Structure 1
Amino acid sequence: MKNILLLILIMIATSCNSQQKQQALVADQLRPTTQKNKQKGTQIGRYLVAIFEDSKGNMWFGTLEKGVAKYDGKTLRYFTMKDGLISNAVVSVAEDKKGNLWFGTQAGLSKYDGTSFTNYTTQDGLCNNNVSCLLIDSKSNLWIGTWGGVCQFDGNKFTRFSVPDPAVEIRSNAATKDWVTGLKEDSKGNIWLTRDGYGACKYDGKTFVHITEKEGLYSNNVQAIEEDTQGNIWFGTRVAEKDNAEVNKRAGKGGLIKFDSKNMTYYPKIKGLSQGDVYAIYRDASGNIWVSTTGHGVYKFDGKQFINYPVSNAANTASKAVMNILEDRKGNIWLGCAGGLFRLTPKGAVNITTEGPWK
């Protein structure tokens, strides 16, 4: 039961930047390794599942157990339930045009205006209290992905957004079938939803188009989505067979796929990208595509080749899962992992604790 609960916590967190959501084998893959060497400071979060930079340049780090941490360039401060946050498990962060910050948590939705928190739950119309991802689109609509579907909030009321289910066989845990793992607006204004068991879905404002195993996905358990500068859509999937109760039946396909609206491109020669789980995909300011793995660090695809960056902690043991990727306005690449926060430097990935190093 402990492993299943651990898995659910991780799965919640890996959706929308999220990574986010299997049995004991998968839980072990995502469990952070224990640091054996003495380290300065403590981990900002055992599971660093959300990274966000606001319009003022502050960095926000969502954790599953310590609330959300804000770094303003000088000091690190935590916001928790004691400050008014609805839950200490913060899995997604977004900012609206008024500068309000929105935090998706395991117990509902919190809005922070810089002074105080306003909280929303199912009692206020939220479709499910287990929030998994947030999106503020180009029209300033707030989309909330949850473990019970997706809804929109106009500032006054929540409206459930109904998504039709494609005709697929659900091989994943039944508890995750309504879990919206990601929300993305593409360059044409289409809204993409990814789900754990139903693949991906594109909504153009009128109609829905489903992308599933039938269209070429490794699995219908889609965890991440991103668009590149050419308009290609990249999907990150997990191995659905890992949900199987029989140990000898847990192998299968999962990983990274590029979709050009007609054809799928796969990367079977790259470790971790065809028989593993991809929980985060991110496009940086230069157009590079960054891809997470479980056990192989992160990859940067520059349009020609994949460049690997191992991610290790102070004990020089690999972080087993990268769950979130972000580039800040200074060009730094931040990684949220099972094991803490990391930043890429010319010397490799550096573990950032409560004591830094921040520079």
Structure 2
Amino acid sequence: MNKNLKLIYFLLILIINFSCIENRSAEKETGMPGLAATLSADTLKFTSGIRAILQDSKGNYWFGSQNEGAGFYNGKTFKYFTTKEGLADNQIRSIQEDREGVIWFDTQNGVSSYDGKTIKNHTVNENAENEWKKTDFDLWFSAGTKQGVNKYDGQKLNYLAFPDPVTVPGGNTYAVTSFSKGKHNMQWIGTYAGVFGYNGSNMTILNNKTLGINNEQDGLHIRSTLEDSKGRLWIGNNGIGVLLKNGDAIIHFSKELGKSIPINELEANTQSRGFNKNKGLQAVFAIEEDSDGNIWFGDRDSGAWKYDGKTMTNYTISHKLSQPMIWTIYKDNNNNLLFGMAGGGVYQFNGNSFDRQF
């Protein structure tokens, strides 16, 4: 073989090897879960509403539906889990991951976990001697209609009753509706009739009296809570809108909003879109903070609202949706803001409008 042929042969080997390396790299990139990956033709099939979203430590997405179980997306395909696969119930209210990578589902009928192979349903320890304690690794769950909370401490799932139960005006109870982690080791627990804050030693109770809500007709009906990066606590109600606790000050945020944007204008805006059940920010089921510090609200009737500290902006997620209700707003590992809709589908805010992602 002469020198020219040897050179050509050598170059061909280099080209082939480089091509193989490049292909392997491309396969790895495509297989990475996340919004940057190309979605398959298959899309999330839930139509009953998306109540919960989680992106786990491996980058996989989990979705909890109103009555169709849980969905899993690994960047390529979807997989589904229902009571047929072992879940305690098909209504999924929240999804969490523990420090071992196990996925936990808070369902309408109990707590289930999935370790990648097996679904396990957990029995709650309801011993009356259970004491309120707190670690950084606790998982918190609702306790159905009971006025307390279920907490997993890494070994057992214990029921903890709220202190000093009282008769709440208007028929609401201290049944759990939401959770939010706060500063100074605070765990906020939203219930229909109030918010409990527990830091491991002291319990704070925010109810009609402490929040200055005295009219039974305008009483609390809490569906969402969030402590933001500034330490402010936002409380979303189904009926009286948003309350804001900023230090010791309590602000009825939705009413304050009405001073800068006339209520009749808000009503006209929502009615023009065909959503005329409320006059703006009144039935708030989801609250989240984006990476820029904006506070987002998901309303039952009027879609999404963004508060930048000065101005409120109202967004319609999609005119194709049968209903505008937002069940959940979730910030994923890449700071993408995802909106789970009551009519099914998960949408991402792109800076101006919303694109369906799942």
TM-score by length of 2: 0.71
Question: For structure 2, which runs of at least 5 residues remain unmatched after alignment?
Answer: 1-41, 128-133, 267-277
What are the within-5 Å matches in structure 2 for residues 116-131 of structure 1?
116-121=118-123, 124-125=124-125
Structure 2 residue 254 is the aligned partner of structure 1 residue 258 = no
Segment of structure 1 superposing worse, 228-237 or 145-154: 145-154
Structure 2 residue 200 is the aligned partner of structure 1 residue 195 = no
Structure 2 residue 210 is the aligned partner of structure 1 residue 206 = no
Residues 306, 138 of structure 1: alpha-carbon distance in 2 compared, 3 angstrom cutoff = farther
Q: Deviations over 1:262-299 (max 9, x none)?
A: 11222322646877211111122332211111221111
Question: What is the one-letter code of the residue matched to 1:267?
Answer: S
Task: Confirm or deny: 8 A CA contact 2:316 2:324 kept in the other structure.
Answer: no
- Displacement of 1:210 after TM fit? 1.8
Secondary structure of the 1:298 match is strand
In structure 2, how many angstroms separate the alpha carbons of the residues matched to 1:126 and 1:140?
Answer: 20
Question: What is the one-letter code of the residue matched to 1:230?
Answer: K
Task: Tell me which residue corresponds to 1:157.
Answer: 156
Residues 339, 303 of structure 1: alpha-carbon distance in 2 compared, 3 angstrom cutoff = same
- Structure number with the higher helix fraction is 2
Alignment size in residue pairs: 283
In structure 1, how many angstroms separate the alpha carbons of the residues matched to 2:293 and 2:286?
Answer: 16
Task: Confirm or deny: 8 A CA contact 2:283 2:301 kept in the other structure.
Answer: no
Q: Deviations over 1:175-212 (max 9, x none)?
A: xx241112222111122222112x11222333322212
In structure 2, how many angstroms separate the alpha carbons of the residues matched to 1:280 and 1:141?
Answer: 22
In structure 1, how many angstroms separate the alpha carbons of the residues matched to 2:334 and 2:64?
Answer: 20
Pick the aligned partner of 2:309 from 303, 328, 344: 303
Task: Tell me which residue corresponds to 1:88.
Answer: 90
User: Share of identical aligned residues, percent?
Assistant: 30
In structure 2, how many angstroms separate the alpha carbons of the residues matched to 1:208 and 1:235?
Answer: 17
Task: Tell me which residue corresponds to 1:329.
Answer: 333
Structure 2 residue 67 is the aligned partner of structure 1 residue 79 = no
Task: Tell me which residue corresponds to 2:270.
Answer: none
In structure 1, how many angstroms separate the alpha carbons of the residues matched to 2:126 and 2:61?
Answer: 27
Pick the aligned partner of 2:138 from 132, 137, 141: 141
Secondary structure of the 2:136 match is coil
Task: Confirm or deny: 8 A CA contact 1:51 1:326 kept in the other structure.
Answer: yes
Structure 2 residue 318 is the aligned partner of structure 1 residue 312 = yes
Q: Deviations over 1:41-95 (max 9, x none)?
A: 7752322111111111111110122211111221122122232222222111001
In structure 2, how many angstroms separate the alpha carbons of the residues matched to 1:232 and 1:273?
Answer: 25
Note the aligned Cα RMSD (angstroms).
Answer: 2.6
Residues 102, 313 of structure 1: alpha-carbon distance in 2 compared, 3 angstrom cutoff = farther
In structure 2, how many angstroms separate the alpha carbons of the residues matched to 1:204 and 1:274?
Answer: 34
Residues 72, 138 of structure 1: alpha-carbon distance in 2 compared, 3 angstrom cutoff = farther
Q: Deviations over 1:202-247 (max 9, x none)?
A: 22333322212222356322211111221111111122xxxxxxxx
Question: What is the one-letter code of the residue matched to 1:156?
Answer: Q
Secondary structure of the 2:169 match is coil
Secondary structure of the 1:267 match is helix
Task: Tell me which residue corresponds to 2:100.
Answer: 98
Task: Tell me which residue corresponds to 1:111.
Answer: 113
Question: For structure 1, which runs of at least 5 residues remain unmatched after alignment?
Answer: 1-39, 128-136, 240-253
Task: Confirm or deny: 8 A CA contact 2:304 2:314 kept in the other structure.
Answer: yes
Task: Confirm or deny: 8 A CA contact 2:122 2:157 kept in the other structure.
Answer: no
Pick the aligned partner of 1:186 from 154, 161, 182: 182
Question: What is the one-letter code of the residue matched to 2:223?
Answer: Q
- Displacement of 1:157 after TM fit? 2.6
Task: Confirm or deny: 8 A CA contact 1:184 1:225 kept in the other structure.
Answer: yes
Pick the aligned partner of 1:216 from 212, 222, 234: 212
Task: Tell me which residue corresponds to 1:339.
Answer: 343
Residues 210, 69 of structure 1: alpha-carbon distance in 2 compared, 3 angstrom cutoff = same
Q: Deviations over 1:90-114 (max 9, x none)?
A: 1110011111110011221111111
- Displacement of 1:126 after TM fit? 6.2
Residues 116, 237 of structure 1: alpha-carbon distance in 2 compared, 3 angstrom cutoff = same
Task: Confirm or deny: 8 A CA contact 2:254 2:282 kept in the other structure.
Answer: no
In structure 2, how many angstroms separate the alpha carbons of the residues matched to 1:294 and 1:256?
Answer: 13
In structure 1, how many angstroms separate the alpha carbons of the residues matched to 2:100 and 2:121?
Answer: 17
User: 1 or 2 for the larger relative contact order (CA 8 Å, sep ≥6)?
Assistant: 1
Task: Tell me which residue corresponds to 1:291.
Answer: 297
